Structure 1
Amino acid sequence: MMLVPFYRSAVRQFDSRIRAVAPAQWTSSTPDTDWDVQRLVAHVVNVQSRFAAHVGGSRSSPTEATGEALVGAWAAASAASVAAFEAVPDWSVPAPLPTGVTGTLEELGWLLTTDLTIHAWDLARAVNASDEFPNDLIGALLEQTKASHERWFRPEAFAPSIPVPGCTDDLTELLALSGRNRWWRRT
């Protein structure tokens, strides 16, 4: 399955949600109880920057941007990361995964695409934006996540998976694998 188009789709999904953040929403809670909107976006910017630097052979510096400045930091990080994804000559080379194990660059790419999409959902819920996603994107990510769940979702970084009935939709199942309740609402 070709990874790059799915990654571009995930970038578009996050991009539309970050542009929906109102000035007063940067401190709003998110489905991840440890993060507000600002910390969530800073995390995403830093992850995307690290991937672009890893593929490009350079070092990335964590972003210190806050609030609305994160929109510009996101634009730069996502552009660099898309360029890095498009320039990969061999997806089969070994790459370190954030979980401390070694996988392939392709596995890392799928993990980053999944992470980006899940955080786009987090952001959508936090700022009351649309939380609908393209079926092909969610279907592909669910397939990859089911195959790699144990390698990707380490207990110290993610809430435990939530059991779901067998007849649930793909987005609900994908979110449940990462410990998220599809029906979470900001209080």
Structure 2
Amino acid sequence: MATQTSDLLAAAAPRTVAVVRQITDDQLDLPTPCRDFRVRDLLNHLYEVVVNFQGLARRSTVTWADKPDHLTAGWRDRFEAETGRLVEAWADPASEQGVSPGMGMPQQVVGGMAMLDLTVHGWDLAVATGQAYEPAPEVLPALHELTGQLATTARQMGVFAEEVPVDGTLPELDRLLGATGRDPAWSPAG
């Protein structure tokens, strides 16, 4: 089976997996558009998101307190496999029903948050490591809507930085990045 969430995750995931696969070990200490996160830190965070949101799809209890280093032997292959499991977990129609006991918000919003992290952090990692990134176009309308719903709370919680004003005529990705507190013109050189 499939759900709207799993279809969108399936569209978004391969683009981020492709970026992750191209990151070399000598790039792990490079800065990223995420304040206080080096490439290594952001990869570990995104790995944790991919794993924990599998549990959230099943309404399992997840912990964000553990911060293991996922970048051990074979991490690129494991990231791809875990991302596939994320899509599978959200393909169960029950994953979109009701309210998340762990997050206190509708399950569809929780699934959208996984898609948002894959897309925005895919761009973060790409720009930090000198790669091109083109998001799945079909996910952008849903991500704009979700970002609008979450922005105020996400900023209060420090999940989003302050909005970066972006010209409304720029591409959808640039507008999404600005809404999440990123400068679409960011570069490692500053």
Alignment correspondent of 2:13: 11
Query: Aligned-pair distance for 1:83?
Result: 1.7
Aligned counterpart for 1:28 among listed residues 27, 30, 47: 30
Consecutive unaligned residues in structure 1, runs of 5 or more: none
Is the 2:29–2:40 Cα contact (8 Å) retained in structure 1?
A: yes
Query: Aligned-pair distance for 1:95?
Result: 1.0
- The CA deviation string for residues 84-107 of structure 1, in whole angstroms up to 9 with x for no partner, is 111242513111576xxx211101
Query: Aligned-pair distance for 1:111?
Result: 1.3
Aligned residues: 184
Q: RMSD in angstroms over aligned alpha carbons?
A: 2.3
Q: 2:83 aligned with 1:78, yes or no?
A: yes
- The CA deviation string for residues 79-135 of structure 1, in whole angstroms up to 9 with x for no partner, is 32122111242513111576xxx2111010111111110000001001111122232
Aligned counterpart for 1:144 among listed residues 118, 143, 146: 146
| Aligned residue runs from structure 1 range 125-140, under 5 A | 125-140=127-142
Alignment correspondent of 1:119: 121
Rate the CA distance shift 1:23–1:113 in 2: closer, same or farther, 3 A: same
Q: Which has the higher contact order (CA 8 A, sep 6+)?
A: 2
Alignment correspondent of 2:164: 162
Is the 1:111–1:152 Cα contact (8 Å) retained in structure 2?
A: no
Instruction: Give the TM-score normalised by structure 2.
Output: 0.85
- The CA deviation string for residues 15-46 of structure 1, in whole angstroms up to 9 with x for no partner, is 01001112211111111121111110100111
Instruction: Give the TM-score normalised by structure 1.
Output: 0.86
Further displaced range: 73-82 or 104-113: 73-82
d(CA) in 2 for partners of 1:84, 1:67: 24
- The CA deviation string for residues 139-187 of structure 1, in whole angstroms up to 9 with x for no partner, is 3311332233224444523210112233232111100011101111112
Alignment correspondent of 1:41: 43
d(CA) in 2 for partners of 1:107, 1:3: 9
Consecutive unaligned residues in structure 2, runs of 5 or more: none
